[in-house]
Structure formats: C-alpha cells, structure tokens
Structure 1
C-alpha cells in the first residue's frame, strides 16, 4: 500500500514534465523505468537520455558556435587568415550531412546543428568576400548556394546522390582542414580564426560520435564525425601553438596605430 502511494506521488509529481521528457529525452518505456519503477541505473535508458541530452546541447550550442568567429571578423573588418575554399568545403560537408539525415528520417536531435552551422558558415563566406572587396561575388555565392540546397532537398534529387554527398564528406572535411592548417602555417599565426569557435566545433564533433551511434546506428555518419574530430583537433592544436604569436601580432598592430 505504502509502495503504491509512493509510486502515485512520483507519477503525479512528474506528470507536468512527462510530455517534454517523452518528446525530447526518452521513450515511454524509459519514463516508466525511471519514474514508476525508480530504476535510475537502467543502462540502456541512461544511454538514450545521455545521447538525447548531448544532441540537444549540441544543437543549442551550434546556434552560437560560429558567432564568435563572425563577430571577430566584423569587429576587425578583416577576414585575414580565413580561407574561402575551406568555407566551400565545410558547406559541402554540412549540407551533405543535413540532406542525408533528412532523407533517412533521422531524429532532429542527431543532426540539427547542421542547420545552424550551415547558416553561420554561409555568413562567414559572405563576409570573407565582402572584406576582400568582392561583395557582389559574395551575394552571388549565397544565392547559388541556397538554390542548390533547395534542389538537393527536393524529391527530384535521387537518394544515391545524397548518399554519395555524405560519403564525400570525409575527403571534403580533410581537405578543408588541411587548407586552413596550411594557411595558418604559412602565416605563422591564426589571423581572425576564433579560438572559441574552434574548440566548440572540436567538442561538438567528439560528442556527435556517441550520439550518432546511439540514435542512428549509421556507421557512415559516425565515421564522418571521427574524421571531423581529428581534423578539428589539428586546428585546435594550431590555435594553442600560435597563441603567443597571435598576441604579439595584435600588440604590434596597436603600436603602429598609436
């Protein structure tokens, strides 16, 4: 009797949150396991909740992950150290992942950050062109990109094309990061590259390995995030390595202005 009372109290206490939890964090079987049976150590359910929580955290973080980069470029009125070719290749990888996930009807929590990263990466591409004195080319780039995106997401595009795009993500990511790493090496500094954005991208790609395997079981997507983590890690190491040289460079610029 007492046990039934406790169960009823637990159930009624969680009722206002039940819809939210079932929609975003867990299936009903796990809700029952946690809040009716009070078995909070159920490993399969813990994995699901951790994966869903990480996925939502990554998506929320992705809405701002490249904002420091955008603000840094706008504040400096310069895109020095940023490669437009890298932006193009990043967009290829991001768009491929998004189209592949939508076509396979994967849950939004497993790929949603791609949408926000895409919008921010397009903005960075436009800014690079603008600060190089090629604003009209930048506008054309935006128009062409979104035109191709609409075509890619339409039923006209065969699934084989979408799968091929996802498979091409790996070489695209590797080449994109090598171009950026090469630019940093030649310059001897990371220019307007934002350390905050770099480290957030690295952390996000690492977390995505787990969430992808847990929520989709798709090895192609998981392998893409493994490659992405390694490549983002290389750029993160460069940011740390060139940290002092970048600081000294900023001091010299200030002295020249004075």
Structure 2
C-alpha cells in the first residue's frame, strides 16, 4: 500500500503538502502512520476548514434566493443581520492581519459579502413609512441602500488600517456583538411565532460550521478570543434552530396596506331621484304658491 501512497501524482501530492506540511504528509500518507495523533488532528482540522470555507461560499445563497423570490424580507431583523455582518468583518480582518491560515477563517470572507447583500436587500424591501403598515417597497429606499454600501466599504477599509491593539479589542467585542446580533432575530421570531424568510439551510450550516470551527481554532490557532466568539455563536445558532423546529410551517402574518382615503370632489351630492317632490305653500299675504326649498346640489370647496 505504501508503494502507491509514496508515488501519488503531483497534482495530489503538492496540494496535500501545502495543506498539512511535508512532515505530516510523509507520516500520514506515505508511511500510513495513523497513530501520529498530532498530524492526524491537523489533517482533520485542515479538512474541516476547507469544507467550512467551501460551505461558507454558498451558505447564505438560499437566504438571498428566498428574499428575491418572495420580494420581501418579512420576518428578518435588520439589526440582527447588520450586527452579524460587523462580527464577520471584524473576525475576517483580525485573522487576515494575524496571518492565520486561510482555511481557519476563509468562510468569513464569503459570509461577509453575502451578509452585506442580504442586509441591503432587507433595506431595499423595507416597508415604506414609519409605521411599517405597508409592504409595498418605496422607491425612497434606494438611497438608503447606497448609503449602506458606502458604510460597508468604509468600515472594511478602517479595520484594515486600524492599529492592531484596537483591532484586538474589537475582536473581543465580537462576543457581545454576536450576542446582540442574534437576540433581535430570536425576539422577532418569538413575536411573530414564525421564522419568516429565515433559511433553514443557512442556520443549520452555521450550527455545524461553528461546532467545527471550535475544533479548528483549538488545533491551529489557539486564540481564545476567536474561540469564545465561535462558542457563543454556536449557542445562539442552536437557539435559532430550535425556533425553526418549533415554528415550522407557520408564516408571518402580513399587514394590510393602508392607503389614504381619496377625497371626493363632490360632497352631499343628491341624486335627482332622491329630490323630494316640490311642495307648494300658499302665502297668506299674496296668495301665490312657491315651491318649498328642497335639497340643493353643493360642490365641495377644495
């Protein structure tokens, strides 16, 4: 068997060496030394990391499609997605600037991009009016979408040039940010007794992804700040998953559109058939008869 593993083609050998290193490749692949627990844990961590990165590239696509197909984002919390996007962005820049292996944080790149798109769609389909009584998208939301895109770009650039000690504080802040990012969505689901357009695939992927990231963080990074963020995210995503199971099949009650009542041009209009028969009264002074004053046509003054 080792004769085969020691003569693998270069298109298999080179990526494997780049992933787990020469020593672990020789130990696990060429010598088939499965008892090498250090290299075995590293190989499992790398495999999980690559799988998570690939999964992250499509994790939020179903959520995007749900919003676009329904042409509304009912049941999705704007603060929840905005804060979640910020947490993804901070973790992404923090890992990048610490030169961690891409397999340990790569999904954050794709999740940040997808979350920005979802957040902008929520803004775009946000009901018009402050009372949120209408579900018709207002054209005035377009400038808000543009402003949201500009804010995302500025925030990304700011994190890239921020001093490292301040970035570490922000990474520590992703723990409460993750907490506050999920609470609005959990509360929205509880209030509606439905998860609305929340994607089952996205939530399930986040649960498994966070669980796997706990293992890869301990194995490859050893960063307690990153570990704490993934641990809290796992708990909150499990809570969202439980709500999906509890409210399965229920839809968010839609609100009726309230349109202003149009004012009639005419008020107190009386149909001709409704005009009473003229009644004649005899004047005691002249003896002449005159029709009694009936209901008159009245045009409403604008």
Alignment TM-score > 0.5, same fold = yes
Root mean square deviation, CA, Å = 1.7
* Aligned 8 A contact 1:14 1:35 in 2: no
1:211-226 correspondence runs (5 A) = 211-226=216-231
Among 42, 66, 86, the alignment partner of 1:72 is 66
**TM-score, normalised to structure 1's length?**
0.89
Q: Does 1:20 align with 2:15?
A: yes
Comparing both structures, which one devotes a greater share of its residues to helix? 1
* Aligned 8 A contact 1:90 1:176 in 2: yes
Please identify, of 70-79 and 142-151, the stretch whose mean Cα deviation from structure 2 is larger. Answer: 142-151
* Aligned 8 A contact 2:90 2:159 in 1: no
* Aligned 8 A contact 1:110 1:212 in 2: yes
Q: Does 1:114 align with 2:121?
A: no
Deviation at 1:94, TM superposition (A): 0.6
CA distance in 2, matches of 1:208, 1:191: 28
CA distance in 1, matches of 2:36, 2:59: 33
Counterpart of 2:5?
Answer: 10
Q: Does 1:89 align with 2:83?
A: yes
Among 207, 210, 229, the alignment partner of 1:205 is 210
CA distance in 2, matches of 1:8, 1:83: 57
Q: Does 1:136 align with 2:162?
A: no
Deviation at 1:104, TM superposition (A): 1.2
Among 26, 29, 53, the alignment partner of 2:47 is 53
Q: Does 1:232 align with 2:237?
A: yes
Specify every segment of 5 or more residues in structure 1 that has no aligned partner in the other structure, as ranges.
1-5, 251-258
CA distance in 2, matches of 1:205, 1:118: 15
Deviation at 1:38, TM superposition (A): 2.3
Distance 1:7 1:71, change over 3 A: closer
* Aligned 8 A contact 1:100 1:162 in 2: yes
Among 169, 172, 178, the alignment partner of 1:173 is 178
Structure 1 residues 16-71: Cα deviation after superposition (integer angstroms, max 9, x where no partner): 421110112x1111111123322123211110011000001000000110000000
CA distance in 2, matches of 1:183, 1:118: 22
Q: Does 1:103 align with 2:97?
A: yes
Count of residues paired in the alignment: 241
Secondary structure at 1:137's aligned position in 2? helix
Please identify, of 38-47 and 49-58, the stretch whose mean Cα deviation from structure 2 is larger. Answer: 38-47
Distance 1:10 1:150, change over 3 A: same
Distance 1:203 1:35, change over 3 A: closer
Secondary structure at 1:54's aligned position in 2? helix
1:189-200 correspondence runs (5 A) = 189-200=194-205
CA distance in 1, matches of 2:239, 2:150: 32
Counterpart of 2:295?
Answer: none
**TM-score, normalised to structure 2's length?**
0.76
Q: Does 1:182 align with 2:177?
A: no
CA distance in 2, matches of 1:7, 1:203: 34
